[in-house]
Structure 1
């Protein structure tokens, strides 16, 4: 009964041209209804109803009663759940007033003027006939119901999905509706997270305009001097594309879906079977390869002004090629499409959740998480070798590890890890911990744990780090009672160890008995894959960042390093996380890789300008602490370990620096694999081999390689034997005692800001 009253009230309002969503129209209609009802109360039931001609109001009154200056305006039918617009009923005003004025239960014999029937909308059913007339109270209530009808009639997400064809599968519709709501909330969080992103100097956001101008100038020069060359490239590209299209058409006509198996690419991005069996994906893959080859050929033939420009253009070309791979897009990634269908879209929602999480975690920067951040805790399931913090300064903590043998070598060992990352890369799990292995070989081991700097370290320079080396060495000698020690430097810490050794040489200090360098660059004459990032435009951008923040922020450093291996460290992880909706793996090595540190501003610029760009240490000398230090000043017995697949410190450049050092006792070990995996290579795995024994340091790296021999398995035992020969006699093991606190200390837990 209530619903019937609501529909009747709506029809009354619509018959007068009233608009249910207009506040003014509702009030005018209510006042007019009250006036008509009052007049009807004075009339007797037996009195005949006035004819339309006698009761018709003036045009002005007619418009006022309707609440609109446009009598033929189409009203919005608030009772239609689909919110469809219908034409207003064309009844005469008197008839409408007559129906409203008639009291409830009026005699059926009362004379009524015939009303023009409502026009039937196309494709819609005819509206049902009007119900019995309403009383004054019911009519007013109906008008109020009509005013709120539109909001009540808005369909829910489930209803809307039902109209799209999901009504027959209620669980699916409900799940899709829930996913849509999650996407809306995640979208708002994503926008807010991007809003927190700090603005960087344009120099670090992308290639400078000068690089584009250089490339454009080279292209114009080639076009002017060798126009046939440009035309040849274009014709070859067109020809390959047309042949590809024709081959695909012929294969389809013969019922074949793909190219012969021997032509299938070995690119791991295209390992899904559909890349080779499905005509659509196969065509896309092959065309991408044609495009990539055309771009590389065109870039290679440009007449560049120098080798630096050529390397930069080649790097930019490869970045574009990697970015445009069909695997990076949902519509052309069969893995992601299959996962989306299998999970009814859940994988895409989880992918958006992963994206929002990464952007929020990195302060607005879109840096994909390479490992599960909750899977590891330093000191609990990684970095667990027993030890004690025995010394702490503003810049570092010194950890002494507990012995595992009854006797140890007299001369202690101190490791200086890079301050770009945390030291526990050498102590991930017991089975691959170099720190634990060294202790097990009978050495008293100390390791430096560097402070993760904040803006207060802006003026900390290389001289402060060299001073920290000397302070740590003094403390090690004090605690062990030994005048000499063996030192190890990893990556940038190895470079700084070389500077420290050169300084000690000039001061006549012989505290270091031997030195070991892990993946250490000391000669930067060949900048390799860092060429793009070591030019003035990018370095000037870094200088602006350092001036603004006092630091080289960890997210910017991580992003830059990742694009050296974009497919492995950017696009591949992004596909798995954002398109497939997969959780990052619980991989300790990648967890460490994401635990980056900030770099002090002064130290950053000294390293980039003096060592990398000008190559002072290998050329005229590097000014530090009142001395001009040169690579030839390194004269202690040394062993250098480089990695064959290292893209950060190429082994040929590492060898080049060692060849220039003044030491008479040199050993060089070349491990298989890369910058980290080649070092964290325990003997138990027997995964990567190594080259040793080369003695030729005068005729280039290839001559050394030719004079070396290859051996299966880890290089650790070879180096261990070398170190033992220089570590002195055996003495009772040294217990570090309680110290300041247990290893791994507190500095290692500090996260980058």
Structure 2
């Protein structure tokens, strides 16, 4: 107990000793002894933290001093303190003025932020290895984000005021929104009644000219009298619907490329079901990319094709290109990557979920086949930015009872795609965990994938704030691709908004530098900043490799008739529910 005249250092020393005793009793009760290191990472963190008592005392001292300072200001909220808070970096969770002006909510906010800082400090000062520390910090952030006072009705001033102003209707509307989302199996991020695939999304004119059990190949209708003679094949990621590249007319990359005079083809992947649940990387390379390339060559009577891959689609395209080279087939004229990562040494925040023990849970299905729910994949990526992609909508939809705003990109984000478990396992284990592709240990159809044999021109685009494919990791592709003609371009924004930066608005900026030095930071330091959309740079690059202009063709050919108008059937299929995927 605290005695008069006792200073804080003595008090905290007593607390530290008591906590160490409590912790040792916990270890003994759990069957651990001094000779055995705790196997639980949380226990391990506590053990190492208590082994460094001075670090613990410093953190505790600072924490309690902050708490006392907040208490002293509880009834003394003045204009100066409000202005001081407003000068701090904005936190959208606490945008309502009452988070500063109301003493109760101000204390609640400051106390939460202080506790959050203390918990992060607790992890950062531990002696764990960097990988474990990163994972602990990540999941600590998930916990801290979840317990924010802004996420609870009675501790969020905006929710309280809205509830009073609407006489409780906002809470009733919120409950209705929640029940709808429970039935749908996901949190609604936009007003989904405002969008339709094939209506105001994925509406660029064209037709499906080839279909197999894995892909539909779409050819787009030229908008001019002439097109470049060398066709362009786009390979989107197989973990998302392709129309991220064909949203609405104003922000469609597909429409832009068609309008620039390219003869554009695009792969539309099928969402996994029972019929393809055993498909591996081999099927995605052969029945996907190579089958599409073969069809484009036959339809256009052209030997070589320009190609462009996005995210995982870029990796599949790259391995297919190596396979073709190893088979003596010179089908590719050039290749582009958009936010594609070949080297997975530093894969970004997703590494918090990379665990071999978790992968073992799907070991059986990896060999016998199964469906990996796209909903789970989507939830994983949303957790990487939980405040923006989870709790923001929790408050808006459920606590405030509002309908989310109309936003095409977020509609696409919730329109998920399922994957065959064998394919997903290769992606997670062989690429993310083993980094086998750049180590020369990745095999497809018995062929070791050798990236150095690709000799055609290559265009690499990365996004500066991409948390899924960090731009410095994307830049490392220049280390392994040995083509004498490689261009690297860095755009502003993140994984999707960075790619979808249309010329129609010509916002943001991008950086170019022809000197591909080894260090990404050095490349950026000497790069030239360019205004507007990076699509202009990509267009100039492909135009120089696309040959002369020829008469615009009709869609398909005698052997490849139009099967269905774009966007086709595969992109309209809804993903399975999590339960349906588990039992497929």
Same fold flag (TM > 0.5): yes
Distance 2:295 2:548 in 1: 21
> Could you tell me which residue of structure 1 aligns to residue 260 of structure 2?
441
Deviation at 1:214, TM superposition (A): 2.1
Distance 1:523 1:478 in 2: 34
Q: Residue 617 of structure 1 aligns to a residue in which SS?
A: helix
Distance 2:133 2:233 in 1: 42
1:289 partnered with 2:108: no
Q: Residue 476 of structure 2 aligns to a residue in which SS?
A: helix
Deviation at 1:212, TM superposition (A): 7.9
Distance 2:354 2:135 in 1: 10
> Could you tell me which residue of structure 2 aligns to residue 491 of structure 1?
311
Q: Is the 8 Å Cα contact of residues 694 and 707 (structure 1) preserved in structure 2?
A: no
Q: Is the 8 Å Cα contact of residues 171 and 398 (structure 2) preserved in structure 1?
A: yes
Distance 1:451 1:515 in 2: 23
Q: Is the 8 Å Cα contact of residues 49 and 122 (structure 2) preserved in structure 1?
A: no
Deviation at 1:561, TM superposition (A): 1.1
Of 520, 535, 546 in structure 1, the residue corresponding to residue 355 of structure 2 is: 535
CA displacement 1:587-617 (0-9 Å, x = unmatched): 1110000000101111011111111111111
> Could you tell me which residue of structure 2 aligns to residue 320 of structure 1?
143
> Could you tell me which residue of structure 2 aligns to residue 420 of structure 1?
239
Q: Residue 459 of structure 1 aligns to a residue in which SS?
A: coil
Of 571, 575, 579 in structure 1, the residue corresponding to residue 399 of structure 2 is: 579
> Could you tell me which residue of structure 2 aligns to residue 709 of structure 1?
528
Q: Is the 8 Å Cα contact of residues 643 and 675 (structure 1) preserved in structure 2?
A: yes
Distance 1:540 1:324 in 2: 31
Distance 2:394 2:45 in 1: 34
Deviation at 1:372, TM superposition (A): 2.1
Q: Is the 8 Å Cα contact of residues 638 and 667 (structure 1) preserved in structure 2?
A: yes
1:261 partnered with 2:83: yes
Q: Is the 8 Å Cα contact of residues 85 and 100 (structure 2) preserved in structure 1?
A: no
> Could you tell me which residue of structure 1 aligns to residue 199 of structure 2?
380
> Could you tell me which residue of structure 2 aligns to residue 181 of structure 1?
none
Deviation at 1:643, TM superposition (A): 0.4
Distance 1:463 1:602 in 2: 10
Q: Residue 384 of structure 2 aligns to a residue in which SS?
A: helix
Distance 1:258 1:352 in 2: 39
Q: Is the 8 Å Cα contact of residues 484 and 513 (structure 1) preserved in structure 2?
A: yes
CA displacement 1:565-588 (0-9 Å, x = unmatched): 000000001110010111122211
> 1 or 2 for the larger relative contact order (CA 8 Å, sep ≥6)?
2
Question: In angstroms, what is the RMSD of aligned CA positions?
Answer: 1.8
Name stretches of at least 5 consecutive residues in structure 1 with no aligned partner: 1-209
TM-score, scaled relative to structure 1 = 0.69
> Could you tell me which residue of structure 2 aligns to residue 593 of structure 1?
413
Q: Residue 138 of structure 2 aligns to a residue in which SS?
A: helix
CA displacement 1:614-668 (0-9 Å, x = unmatched): 1111013211112011332333210011101111111110001233211111001
Of 415, 430, 450 in structure 1, the residue corresponding to residue 269 of structure 2 is: 450
> Could you tell me which residue of structure 1 aligns to residue 21 of structure 2?
none
Residues 29-40 of structure 1 aligned to structure 2 (within 5 Å): none
> Could you tell me which residue of structure 1 aligns to residue 7 of structure 2?
none
Distance 1:263 1:555 in 2: 39
Q: Is the 8 Å Cα contact of residues 336 and 580 (structure 1) preserved in structure 2?
A: yes
Residues 87-236 of structure 1 aligned to structure 2 (within 5 Å): 213-224=40-51, 226-236=52-62
Distance 2:361 2:376 in 1: 11
Deviation at 1:258, TM superposition (A): 7.8
Change (3 A) 1:479 1:549: closer
Q: Residue 719 of structure 1 aligns to a residue in which SS?
A: helix
Of 172, 182, 188 in structure 2, the residue corresponding to residue 349 of structure 1 is: 172
1:744 partnered with 2:570: no
Distance 1:293 1:545 in 2: 42
CA displacement 1:115-165 (0-9 Å, x = unmatched): xxxxxxxxxxxxxxxxxxxxxxxxxxxxxxxxxxxxxxxxxxxxxxxxxxx
Distance 1:414 1:350 in 2: 46
> Could you tell me which residue of structure 1 aligns to residue 468 of structure 2?
648
> Could you tell me which residue of structure 2 aligns to residue 271 of structure 1?
95
TM-score, scaled relative to structure 2 = 0.88
